[in-house]
Structure 1
Amino acid sequence: MIGIITMTTQRINLNADLGESFGAWKMGDDASLLQIVTSANVACGFHAGDPIVMQETVRYAIAQGVSIGAHPSYPDLQGFGRRVMQMSAKDLEATLLYQIGALQAIAAAEGGRVTHVKPHGALHNVACADAAVASTVVNTLRKLDPSMILLAPAYSILAEAAQEAGQPVRYEVFADRTYLDDGQLTPRSREGSVIHDSQACVEHVLRMLRANAIVTANGLHLPCRIDSICVHGDGPEAVPTAKAIRLALEVLGYALEPLHHWRIQGRSATRFNEAWNTS
């Protein structure tokens, strides 16, 4: 797997999956979360979101200085993008281009820019474990923008594919999800896969930061670099959890920054992936 740098830092990103309302159906409290997190993964209409929601989310993000990321999925609006779909590489590439390109257009019209991509739901899980799907995701990003950041989990095939292709990658851990001993997320179908209590989420995050490692449900430590922490925005506990995590990080001296602060222009992706400012 990936040769991951084991290094502590006082610089970190806090991200959330946002823009997941659709028409008259509302999900989450995006306005409140955008005052807490430093990066937004915006749904692009295929699992949630619609053009108006995308536009409003981008506007809020720009106003708060929050970096904008595309959160593309399988075309599975009814299943919230959590159902695996069999797609050819050609079809998946077109689906990704359609979603990311739409958000890029909206962001540009609002005076912003899409600086990262994070796959959603089943697409995320499959890309983390399937080399062919991971390759399609990374190759699509390289066609769109070779300097765009891929937000991916450590110990995933997706992160490895980005590293090998020279696509900038930042490593995230999940505040509200538990891990298997191979570093993958515990499937949602299993009991205990989601952490609902805000304080338990804080403790989970701090354990991983102190260990410089993913800490699995069985207590195993998997050393890795942690660049970003994700809080899912679709639950009633999302806002208090994000607040509690941000407060805990600030108390410990972490500087919370948007991902666009880490977008290095005029440098190779290899050097980008190796660069890490510990000041």
Structure 2
Amino acid sequence: MDVNADLAEGFGRWELGDDTALLDIVSSANVACGFHAGDPKTLRAACSGAAMRGVAVGAQVGYRDLAGFGRRFIEMDPAELVDEVIYQIGALDALARVAGTAVTYVKPHGALYNTIVSHTGQAEAVVEAVRRFRPGMAVLGLPGSEWLRLAGESGLSTHREAFADRAYTPEGTLVPRGRPGAVLHDPEVIADRCLRIVRRQPIEAVDGTPLSLSPDSICVHGDTPDAVGIARTVRRKLAEQGTPIEPFAPPPRSLVAD
């Protein structure tokens, strides 16, 4: 099983999350691309840390929305969204290559992630951007989403994701952050739920409905309080049951940092 987390979400002197600690735990790093968070120095540092540890680097693309942390929907012309996503992947890939690795997958962030669950036009635009950047590239998203459906049809390598620290609706989508109980906080409870997910056992949706998930990766949000403690507990419990932690889109071995 892959364990991923969002990294490089600080900006300038403003810091968010503990990238160094999380890189010692996760197998894949969703690195911000400067649109919802992150600056070049922060992005390059995260890529360097990932390269040193053999952690896969994913481009966490989003809306151009620093003030809203990429969590506000933006109505966009599809052609413009294609260009903005290509720009973000390319910028991060350049920094990753200087660090001795490369972007091996794409995972949308925040409002864009949730929008392309059902918004066909924007999902098509993000798929087109990834396909144009690298045909067959790996992508990560919510099971049953338009994003993964269209990505698979275009020849991209699709991978399903579950969230360790987020509540689910009965339909399998995420409970909006503004609602009570949307974010989970108890590391032991979260880790036990992750064990059920890995064992392909149902978990409870927010209303108590059984919900079955079959992910390739489990996400711990880097900005969740005690994200490091949560990720560490999840990894420990998975290891105790004999589940190897490894990236679904492994980093290249041939690149060497300058």
Q: TM-score range by the shorter chain?
A: over 0.9
Pairing partner for 2:233 from 215, 231, 244: 244
Alpha-carbon offset, residue 236 of structure 1: 2.8
Q: What are the superposed Cα offsets for residues 58-87 of structure 1, whole Å, 9 maximum, x if unpaired?
A: 000000110000001100000000011111
2:204 and 2:124 mapped to 1: Cα distance? 27
Q: 3-state SS of the aligned residue for 2:112?
A: helix
Pairing partner for 1:234 from 209, 214, 223: 223
1:102-141 mapped onto 2 (5 Å cutoff): 102-141=91-130
Pairing partner for 2:21 from 23, 32, 38: 32
Alpha-carbon offset, residue 94 of structure 1: 1.1
One-letter amino acid of the counterpart of residue 200, structure 2: A
2:47 and 2:202 mapped to 1: Cα distance? 32
Q: 3-state SS of the aligned residue for 1:261?
A: coil
Alpha-carbon offset, residue 258 of structure 1: 1.8
Query: What residue number does 1:66 align with?
Result: 55
Pairing partner for 1:183 from 172, 193, 196: 172
1:48 maps to 2:37: yes
TM-score by length of 2: 0.93
Alpha-carbon offset, residue 220 of structure 1: 3.0
Query: What residue number does 1:156 align with?
Result: 145
Q: What are the superposed Cα offsets for residues 112-162 of structure 1, whole Å, 9 maximum, x if unpaired?
A: 110011000001110112111111111111101112110111122211111
Instruction: Say how many residue pairs are matched.
Output: 252
1:91-102 mapped onto 2 (5 Å cutoff): 91-102=80-91
CA distance 1:236–1:223, shift in 2 (3 Å)? closer
Alpha-carbon offset, residue 262 of structure 1: 9.2
1:174 and 1:193 mapped to 2: Cα distance? 11
One-letter amino acid of the counterpart of residue 15, structure 2: K
One-letter amino acid of the counterpart of residue 155, structure 1: G
Identical-residue share of aligned pairs (%): 44
Alpha-carbon offset, residue 212 of structure 1: 4.7
2:142 and 2:246 mapped to 1: Cα distance? 18
1:218 maps to 2:207: yes
Q: 3-state SS of the aligned residue for 2:149?
A: helix
Which 4+ residue blocks in structure 1 deviate beyond 6 angstroms? none
1:221 and 1:138 mapped to 2: Cα distance? 31
Alpha-carbon offset, residue 90 of structure 1: 1.0
Instruction: Kindly indicate whether the alpha-carbon contact (under 8 Å) linking 1:197 and 1:237 is maintained by their aligned counterparts in 2.
Output: no
Alpha-carbon offset, residue 222 of structure 1: 4.1
CA distance 1:50–1:149, shift in 2 (3 Å)? same
One-letter amino acid of the counterpart of residue 255, structure 1: P
1:19 and 1:215 mapped to 2: Cα distance? 31
Pairing partner for 2:249 from 260, 265, 268: 260
Q: 3-state SS of the aligned residue for 2:208?
A: coil
Q: 3-state SS of the aligned residue for 1:36?
A: coil
Pairing partner for 1:209 from 194, 198, 202: 198
Query: What residue number does 2:65 align with?
Result: 76
Worse-superposed segment, 77-86 or 209-218: 209-218
Pairing partner for 1:193 from 154, 158, 182: 182
One-letter amino acid of the counterpart of residue 217, structure 2: S
Query: What residue number does 2:10 align with?
Result: 21
CA distance 1:262–1:70, shift in 2 (3 Å)? closer
Alpha-carbon offset, residue 223 of structure 1: 3.8
| Unaligned ranges ≥5, structure 1 | 1-11, 264-279
